[in-house]
Structures are given as structure tokens and as C-alpha cells.
């Protein structure tokens, strides 16, 4: 249900975990809820000295201005700006989205303690598919009277990871700042994570003024007036509360110093400020920590369980002005509308994307990924795909432990990497994406040994499971689970490998022991204490003797794990069974947009699963930025480990890259190098790439940026760059300009390059560092205007020796423009003007007289014109004009080349016109054959006639 507040609004970053600092990450729990500098510096001493009693309440609370404010409303404006602030992960992909401007509320359903405390079900498909038949309730009605007519004071708002609890509370505060919650005169939010780090006794009033200095004149009114106040306690799972009187004593005095947890307990008991209303947000596993008698209403956040909410989110998010950073409003609007339309159709088909996007967090990930795929315009791109997924996990799991009551305090992300990562890796290795209940049980329960591990599994089931795995909606696989987003399986599998969880037990022991030896030499007691944690006692004497005899044994053993990681990356990156699939960027696009995205290769089996992102994610995770983020999540990857992995991988990667990869696989390899974000490694890897064939790869702005970034890491010359049929435009050429300068042989055929693109080509050819000597521009709509730019380029260029303008719609006027400047170019040796609708009126003879080789076949030249051009001879005039398949009474030496050009370009040419030309060619061949008396020449004519007839036959039957 949509909020009644000021129209539909779009969530900026669901599950952003209150990261309100300008750095986009937590700068310590103490700063998490601290007000912005404007709130603390806006007070003016003495400004509100005359305001007391009702006047103070009216000015400070009801009017939303502090009595100490020099400017009315300034405090509230600062508070609203503070809670509307977006983390860096959001600001990197377009403008900031204010919560009070665009937002979509998730579905909230009323619940009960009985439903929450009933026995936890197994990980069954049936349970996951159950739709709760409970009343939907809006955020504004949470404090309405209950079914028995009692006034609700305490509300517990719970939901699994990623359902948008934190974003919803942020919106509630912003709405109050704008006067949209008239029920409450004062809202005081607290972060339970912040409170959990402090055990020093403090009074409630001191705690409030410590966090919100602008409330120091309002706090004395708490408990002494009818002030309608709402306390917000976000993230209760971070606090260990004890409601027993023996554990937490009663406290009704807001001035009495007690531990922060005791303040929370007494607020919920209604012993402290009994008239105050309280909203508690928590994960499902921590709901039972509050006794039911202290809770007036339970409500579950169900995310975007309504598909219409998903559509609204995508429409608002992807249609924001300036989302793609372009100034062309018309083209921008068209592309954004197209994306929204394809997404909507995919959701309507009840595809897996709809099942995943019931979590607002995944809606954010989908939009961010589409922004990355379509709207990246910079060189190099400001973000990587691995960075998006790593940041996405930080937004949802930053600083969180799986269970705060567990003494191990294992981070939630570390637990996920060890368990879900294992399942993901086994799926990648066995090439499957759907998992049965037996697969899940084997993965999650195989190592259950202690009560602590069983408790961790229980918390994971209730809080995190649905974030990563969801029931499959594909026909025939309804009784299996799949990862919410396909790429998430490959990311977690990569994280599982890179973190070393795949290592053998001996390698894990070796790593720990070798580190201890390096610190404290061979202290037997310390070594024994370490290895006794992971090995049975009966193995200790053997290991102890090994340590004494071979002190470097374990160091070498632990190093093998890094070699294994490097080998896995290299092998998976060049896995031949994945060859000839669409490149990974197109695969991601297809998984999001459905069948409108790129189709599978015709030779590929329909049910074949491709895991080409897996090695790319392994490289991306090792980048410095992603390692720093993962460190915050409790997943540590040391600098030395990353260095040794890169060192071990280098030789294998460079050797395999020299084998000559298919275009889509070469694009994946370039994307891997970009994700790796290691300039030194990339420079060595691409130095051996002298020929780059990316033909038929759809070169989006992102792919052009990646190509320019990776190849730009060195200054070596590229012998040949093939960008045939790559959907290039003028902006693509601008992005690739530094790379094109260094290419000797440049293929730009079949790219719809018009006059605007010819401006870029002119600048390229006139550049003093241009190394291009062979340029192919065939099958582009260059036209007369484009010919003018190319003519200017030819006049000043000093590197070009061969130029192909085959089928470029030049016409007579275009060729005349080019002919006027050919005399100024002394380097050009060959120019192809075939299939350009040229007639005798074009200055063909003048053009031919300037250069040794001129291709003019498939034009509308008369017989007289052909004879005039045919009279030019290389031995006499230094010129060769290729006009037809015949040369007088002999066959042209280039007949096979001309027919090959026709065969290659037939899919892009007018078939009827080609048929007419072939018919004329056949008649000319037969006429020339009858004129010759040489039997060898007659046989040669018959051979060529046979090839032309064969081509005509296939053309007429539609088999060519």
C-alpha cells in the first residue's frame, strides 16, 4: 500500500543501515545518530529565554522549531536533511533521491506473538511460498487502537534483512519533520547499535541531549507535561536486554544514571515515561527478546510483495531527470522509458526477477546495475560490477553480527560466505543454479556440532535465508531454490574461494601455525593451543614433531592455497565450454530484462548454465577498494594474499590470452582486467594483445569505457582492432579515440556511422599521432556530408595507405568531394568505392589517376565508362581500376576477392539489387568468353561463371 504522504515516493537505498555520514560508511557507532553540525551550531544562547510552559512547547515542538534557534525551523530542516542524506553508494549512480520527494512504502502486515513464536519450520519450499492472510496496515496507523479497543503504545516492527526497515524509519522521521505525523509532537530516534557500545550509566535526559543538543531545552518537559513523544529504537537485535527484575532494576526517573540497555528496558516496561510511544525495529530472531506483555502491536515488513510496487519503484527510479548524466533529454527519456517497459513486461510474466524484487534492496541492486550497464559515460568507469555487489552487501550487512548473544560474535557476512558461499561454489562447480532441500541441509547442517552452531543456523533461517535464496518459479523446478539474483551465486562462490574457505584442513592449520611461528618463534605451548582448536588431540604429537623437524613446512603448505585460488581463477576464466556465449555484460542484461535482452547463441543448449562471472568476481573482490569494504564486513583479505594470488595467476592468464579468444570471450577477459583494478597486472596482460577482435559484440558506452581503460594502461601499438558490427556511434568513437589512434588496421564496418561519426574520424586521421594505415568503413551511411569530412581528413592525413568506403551511400557528389582532395594525399595506395551508386558523371578517372588501386565494382557505370577506366594500366599509368570481373578478354585476377565481398555483405545489402548486378556480371562473363579463342581462358571464364550461377541460384532460393 502506498503512503498517503505527498504522492508516490521512491526509496533511495533500501537497507542502508543508517549510514548518514558524508563518507558513506560508519565512522564509529557514536556518530551513527549524532545530529549534523547544523543542529549543534544553530543555537543562539539566550534566544529562547522568555519561552516557558505552553509557549515553549508551541515554539519548540508543535511548531517544529527549537526555542534556542536563531532561525525558525532551521533545526528541523537540518534534521530532515540529515535523515534524507544518502550514502556514497547511492550518489555514485546519479542524483541523490530525497526520501520526502520520491518513495514507495513497503507492505506492512499486522502479526501476532503466536505467529512469531510458533516452532521454526524447516527450509521447505511450501513454507517459503505461503502467503500470509493478514491485515495490511499503514505506517501512520501503527498506533491505532487494537482489536480490543486498547490504545497501542509499544509497536514492534520486524522484517528480514533487506525489507527496508531502516529506510522506512528514516522516512518516518522525515515525514514528522514535514508535519505529516501530527499524532506526535516530538520524535526521538536511537540506534540500538550505538547504545550497545556504551555500558557507562547515563540518564535518559543526558542521553537525549548528548545525541541531540538542540533538544536540551525541551528535555526537562519529558514526563512533566502531556508532551506526545515517540521514541524510535532501530535494530533491537544489537542489544541484549534482560527484562527480569534481577537483571534490570526498575527505574522511573529520567534523571537517574543507568546503563543504556536498562533505559530501553524501562521504556518498554512503561515504568519510565509511561505516556511515551515506542517503535522498535528488529530482525525476526530478536522479536522474542521482548516479553509479549510489553508489546501492543506486532507488524511485519513484507517488502514489495505486490508486483505493482516493484513497477512503481522502477518507473520512478529509472525515470529520474539526470539519472544517466546526459544532457540530451529526448534520447535520455526514450532509453529510460524503454528500460522501464522491458522491466515491467518481465515482471508481468512472473519471472524470477519478480520473486527476487519483493525485497526493496534487490530493486535497488537491479536499478543500480542497469545504471551501470546503460549510463556509464566516463573513462574509466567510476564503478565496477564487483564494487556494486560489494557495496550492496555493505548497505545491508555493514557491522552486523549474526547473533549478538553468541560469544563468537561472528559477522553475518562471514557466516554467509562460509555457508551460502559453499552452496554457491558447489553449484558453480557442478554447473547448476537450482538446489533441493537436501542440498540446503547438506550445506548448512553438515558441520553442526555444538549448541552455538545450531543457534546460529536458527538465526540465519529466520533473518537472512530469504535474502539470498528464493523458491524457483521456472516450470518444472517449483520444488527447488535459486539465488535471488543469478549473479549473486557467482559473487558468493568467488568470495568463498578468495577467502580461503575452500582450503583443505591442513592448509588452514598451516596458515595459522606459520603466522604464529613468525611472531613467537617455535613456542610449543602457543603452537599447540592453535592447532588443538582444529585437529583431534591424537594428531598433536605428529604435528609437533613436524614443527621441530621442518619449521618451514607449514609456511609452504599455506602458500599452496593461494596458488589454488589463482589456478581456479585462470581455469574458470578461459573455460572453453563457455566459449561463444554472449559476453557477461549482455548475460546480466538478459537476466534482468528477460527475453528482450540478448538471446543465447543458436548452438548453445537451452538449459546450459553459464558461469563466466565467477572468475571475474574473484578478480574484482581482490581489488583494493573491495577488500577494504569486505574488511568492514568481517571478511578479511590481506594485502600479501592478494599480491601472491596475482603473482601466481599472471603467467597462466597471459599465456591463455595469447591463444586467440572469440570476441565475446575477449570482451570478458578485458572486463576481468578492468574489475581486477590492478594497473601493473593489466599492463603486462594486455601488452601481448596485438590483435583485438570484438566483431559483433554490442559495444555499449560501458564496454567502450572498459576497452579504453584496459588498453589505455599501456602505450603499445595495436596491429589490428576489429569493431565490425558493434553498434558504434559518434560518442563511442570519442570514448575510444586514444585507442583508435594507436591502431594500424582498423575495422569499423557495419556500425551505422553517419556524418557526425565522420567528424570524429576526421579528427582521428588529422591527429599528429595517428597510426592508422588501413581503415575499413564499409556499410555505413556516410553520405555526401560524411564524404566532405573524410575528404578533409584525406587532405591532411599522412598515415593512411588503404581506405574502404564500400556501400557508404556516397553518390556522385560524395565521390567528387573526395576526388578533389586525393591529389593532396601521397600515401594512399588503395581506395574502395564499390556499391555507391556511382555513374559516369562522377570524377572517377580523376580519382583513379591519383592512386594505384581503385575499386569501383557494383556501381552504375556505363560500358563506355568501364572501357575508359579499364584502359588504365598499372605498367603504363601506375593505376589499377577494379570495375568488373573481366579485364578485356581475360578474367580479373581479383574476381574471387570481389565475389567474397559480395558473399560477406549480402545480409546487409539489397538482395534484389545484388541479383541484378550478378545477372549483368554473368552476361558480361559469357560475352567475354565468346570473344576469346584461348582455351585456357575459356576454362577460367567457365569456372567463374559457375561460381556466379551458384550464387544466383542460392540467392533466388533464399539459401544464401
User: What is the reported pLDDT for 563?
Assistant: 77
Distance CA 79, CA 188 (A): 11
Question: Is the pLDDT at 570 greater than 60, yes or no?
Answer: yes
Question: Is the pLDDT at 495 greater than 60, yes or no?
Answer: yes
Q: What is the DSSP string of 201-226?
A: -B-HHHHHHHH-GGGTTTGGGTTTS-
Model pLDDT for residues 521-557, shown as the tens digit of each residue: 445 555 556 555 555 545 555 555 555 444 454 455 4
Confidence of residue 447 (pLDDT cuts 50, 70, 90): low
Give the mean model confidence (pLDDT) for residues 365-370.
89
Residue 959 has φ and ψ, to the nearest 5°, of: -100, 0
Residue among 500, 506, 507, 499 at smallest CA distance from 558: 507
Sign of CA dihedral 444, 448, 452, 455: positive
Model pLDDT for residues 74-94, shown as the tens digit of each residue: 556 666 777 777 677 766 655
Distance CA 854, CA 788 (A): 19
What percentage of the chain has pLDDT greater than the value 70?
73
Question: Is the pLDDT at 694 greater than 90, yes or no?
Answer: yes
Cα–chain-centroid distance for residue 637? 22
Confidence of residue 441 (pLDDT cuts 50, 70, 90): confident
Give the residue with greater pLDDT, 168 vs 559: 168
Confidence of residue 654 (pLDDT cuts 50, 70, 90): confident
User: What is the reported pLDDT for 953?
Assistant: 83
User: Cell numbers 556500425 correspond to what residue?
Assistant: 751
User: What is the reported pLDDT for 741?
Assistant: 93
User: What is the reported pLDDT for 476?
Assistant: 76
Model pLDDT for residues 833-845, shown as the tens digit of each residue: 888 888 876 655 5
Give the mean model confidence (pLDDT) for residues 588-609.
61
- Judge whether 193 and 286 are in contact, CB under 8 Å: no
Cβ neighbours, 10 Å, residue 281? 22
Cross-strand bridge partners of residue 887: 890
Confidence of residue 767 (pLDDT cuts 50, 70, 90): very high
Question: Is the pLDDT at 158 greater than 80, yes or no?
Answer: yes
Give the mean model confidence (pLDDT) for residues 689-707.
92
User: What is the reported pLDDT for 125?
Assistant: 47
Rounded to a whole number of angstroms, the CA Rg of the chain reads 35
Give the residue with greater pLDDT, 461 vs 526: 461
What percentage of the chain has pLDDT greater than the value 90?
30
Coil, strand, or helix at residue 804?
strand
Model pLDDT for residues 742-757, shown as the tens digit of each residue: 999 999 998 989 999 9
User: What is the reported pLDDT for 188?
Assistant: 92
- Judge whether 165 and 157 are in contact, CB under 8 Å: yes
Give the mean model confidence (pLDDT) for residues 193-203.
91
Model pLDDT for residues 283-298, shown as the tens digit of each residue: 999 999 999 999 999 9
User: What is the reported pLDDT for 742?
Assistant: 92
Question: Is the pLDDT at 23 greater than 60, yes or no?
Answer: no
For residue 470 the three cell numbers come to 528464493
pTM of the model: 0.81
User: What is the reported pLDDT for 267?
Assistant: 96
* From 144-148, 177-181, 788-792, 866-870, the region with the lowest mean pLDDT: 866-870
Amino acid at each position: 500500500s502506498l503512503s498517503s504522504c505527498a504522492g508516490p515516493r521512491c526509496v533511495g537505498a533500501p537497507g542502508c543501515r543508517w549510514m548518514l555520514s558524508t563518507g558513506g560508511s560508519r565512522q564509529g557507532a557514536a556518530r551513527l545518530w549524532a545530529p549534523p553540525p547544523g543542529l549543534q551550531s544553530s543555537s543562539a544562547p539566550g534566544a529562547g529565554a522568555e519561552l516557558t510552559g505552553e509557549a515553549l512547547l508551541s515554539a519548540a515542538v508543535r511548531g517544529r522549531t527549537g526555542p534556542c534557534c536563531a532561525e525558525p525551523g532551521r533545526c528541523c530542516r537540518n534534521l530532515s536533511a540529515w535523515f534524507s542524506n544518502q550514502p556514497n553508494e547511492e550518489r555514485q549512480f546519479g542524483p541523490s533521491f530525497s526520501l520526502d520527494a520520491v518513495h514507495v512504502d513497503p507492505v506492512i502486515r499486522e502479526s501476532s506473538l503466536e505467529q512469531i513464536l510458533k516452532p521454526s519450520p524447516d527450509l521447505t519450499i511450501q513454507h517459503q511460498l505461503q502467503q500470509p492472510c493478514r491485515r495490511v496496515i499503514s505506517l501512520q496507523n501503527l498506533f491505532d487502537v487494537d482489536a480490543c479497543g486498547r490504545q497501542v503504545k509499544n509497536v514492534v516492527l520486524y522484517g528480514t534483512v533487506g525489507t527496508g526497515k531502516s529506510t522506512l524509519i528514516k522516512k518516518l522521521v522525515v515525514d514528522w519533520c514535514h508535519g505529516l505525523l501530527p499524532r506526535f509532537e516530538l520524535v526521538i530516534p536511537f540506534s540500538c547499535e550505538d547504545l550497545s557500545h556504551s555500558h557507562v550509566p547515563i540518564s535518559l535526559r543526558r542521553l537525549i541531549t548528548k545525541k541531540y543538543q538542540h533538544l536540551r531545552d525541551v528535555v526537562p518537559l519529558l514526563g512533566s507535561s502531556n508532551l506526545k513523544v515517540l521514541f524510535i529504537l532501530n535494530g533491537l537485535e544489537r542489544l541484549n536486554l534482560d527484562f527480569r527484575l534481577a537483571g534490570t532494576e526498575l527505574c522511573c526517573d529520567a534523571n537517574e544514571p543507568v546503563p543504556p540497555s536498562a533505559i530501553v528496558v524501562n521504556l518498554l516496561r512503561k515504568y519510565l515515561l509511561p505516556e511515551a510511544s515506542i517503535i522498535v525495529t528488529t530482525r525476526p530472531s530478536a522479536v522474542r527478546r521482548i516479553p509479549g506483555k510489553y508489546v501492543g502491536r506486532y507488524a511485519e515488513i513484507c517488502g514489495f510483495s505486490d508486483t505493482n510496487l516493484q513497477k512503481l519503484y522502477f518507473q520512478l527510479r529509472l525515470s529520474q531527470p539526470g539519472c544517466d548524466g546526459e544532457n540530451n533529454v529526448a534520447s535520455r527519456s526514450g532509453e529510460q522509458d524503454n528500460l522501464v517497459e522491458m522491466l515491467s513486461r518481465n515482471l508481468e510474466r512472473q519471472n524470477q526477477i519478480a520473486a527476487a524484487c519483493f525485497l526493496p534492496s534487490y530493486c535497488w541492486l537491479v536499478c543500480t546495475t542497469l545504471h551501470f550497464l546503460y549510463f556509464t559515460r566516463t573513462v574509466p568507469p567510476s564503478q565496477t560490477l564487483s564494487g556494486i555487489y560489494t557495496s550492496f552487501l555493505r548497505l545491508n550487512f555493514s557491522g552486523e553480527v549474526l547473533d549478538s548473544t553468541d560469544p563468537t560474535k561472528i559477522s553475518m557476512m562471514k557466516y554467509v560466505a562460509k555457508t551460502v558461499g559453499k552452496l554457491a561454489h558447489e553449484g558453480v562447480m557442478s554447473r547448476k543454479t537450482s538446489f533441493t532441500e537436501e542440498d540446503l541441509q547438506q550445506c548448512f547442517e553438515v558441520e553442526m556440532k555444538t549448541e552455538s552452531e545450531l543457534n546460529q543456523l536458527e538465526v540465519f533461517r529466520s533473518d537472512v535465508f530469504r535474502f539470498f535464496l528464493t523458491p524457483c518459479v521456472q516450470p518444472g523446478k517449483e520444488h527447488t531454490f535459486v539465488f535471488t539474483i543469478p549473479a549473486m551465486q557467482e559473487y558468493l562462490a568467488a568470495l568463498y574461494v578468495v577467502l580461503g574457505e575452500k582450503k583443505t584442513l591442513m592448509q588452514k592449520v598451516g596458515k595459522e601455525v606459520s603466522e604464529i611461528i613468525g611472531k613467537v618463534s617455535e613456542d610449543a605451548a602457543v603452537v599447540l593451543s592453535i592447532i588443538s582448536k582444529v585437529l583431534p588431540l591424537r594428531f598433536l604429537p605428529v604435528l609437533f614433531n613436524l614443527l621441530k623437524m621442518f619449521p618451514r613446512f607449514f609456511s609452504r603448505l599455506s602458500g599452496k592455497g593461494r596458488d589454488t585460488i589463482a589456478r581456479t581463477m585462470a581455469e574458470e576464466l578461459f573455460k572453453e565450454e563457455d566459449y561463444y556465449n554472449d559476453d557477461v555484460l549482455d548475460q546480466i542484461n538478459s537476466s534482468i530484462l528477460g527475453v528482450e535482452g540478448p538471446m543465447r547463441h543458436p548452438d548453445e543448449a537451452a538449459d546450459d548454465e553459464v558461469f563466466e562471472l565467477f572468475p571475474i568476481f574473484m578478480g574484482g573482490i581482490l581489488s583494493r577498494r573491495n577488500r577494504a569494504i569486505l574488511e568492514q564486513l568481517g571478511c578479511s583479505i590481506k594485502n600479501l594474499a592478494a599480491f601472491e594470488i596475482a603473482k601466481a595467476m599472471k603467467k597462466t592468464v597471459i599465456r591463455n590470452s595469447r591463444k586467440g579468444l572469440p570476441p565475446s570471450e575477449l570482451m570478458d577477459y578485458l572486463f576481468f582486467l578492468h574489475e581486477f583494478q590492478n594497473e601493473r597486472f593489466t599492463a603486462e596482460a594486455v601488452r601481448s594483445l596485438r590483435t583485438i577482435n570484438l566483431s559483433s559484440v554490442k559495444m555499449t558506452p560501458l564496454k567502450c569505457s572498459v576497452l579504453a581503460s584496459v588498453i589505455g594502461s599501456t602505450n603499445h601499438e595495436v596491429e589490428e582492432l576489429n569493431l565490425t558490427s558493434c553498434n558504434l556511434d559518434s560518442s563511442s568513437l570519442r570514448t575510444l579515440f586514444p585507442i583508435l589512434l594507436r591502431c594500424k588496421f582498423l575495422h569499423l564496418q557495419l556500425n551505422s556511422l553517419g556524418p557526425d561519426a565522420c567528424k570524429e574520424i576526421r579528427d582521428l586521421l588529422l591527429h599528429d599521432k595517428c597510426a592508422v594505415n588501413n581503415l575499413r568503413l564499409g556499410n555505413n551511411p556516410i553520405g555526401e556530408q560524411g564524404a566532405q569530412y573524410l575528404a578533409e581528413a584525406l587532405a591532411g592525413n599522412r598515415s593512411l595507405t588503404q581506405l574502404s568506403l564500400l556501400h557508404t551511400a556516397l553518390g556522385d557528389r560524395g565521390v567528387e568531394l573526395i576526388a578533389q582532395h586525393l591529389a593532396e594525399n601521397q600515401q594512399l595506395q588503395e581506395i574502395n568505392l564499390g556499391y555507391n551508386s556511382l555513374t559516369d558523371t562522377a570524377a572517377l578517372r580523376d580519382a583513379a589517376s591519383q592512386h594505384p588501386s581503385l575499386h569501383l565494382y557494383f556501381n552504375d557505370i556505363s560500358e563506355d565508362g568501364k572501357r575508359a577506366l579499364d584502359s588504365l594500366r598499372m605498367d603504363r599509368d601506375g593505376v589499377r581500376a577494379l570495375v568488373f570481373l573481366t579485364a578485356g578478354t581475360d578474367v580479373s585476377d581479383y574476381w574471387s576477392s570481389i565475389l567474397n565481398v559480395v558473399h560477406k555483405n549480402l545480409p546487409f545489402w539489397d538482395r534484389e539489387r545484388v541479383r541484378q548486378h550478378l545477372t549483368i556480371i554473368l552476361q558480361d562473363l559469357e560475352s567475354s568468353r565468346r570473344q576469346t579463342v584461348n582455351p585456357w581462358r575459356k576454362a577460367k571464364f567457365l569456372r567463374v561463371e559457375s561460381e556466379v550461377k551458384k550464387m544466383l541460384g542460392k540467392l533466388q532460393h533464399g539459401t544464401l
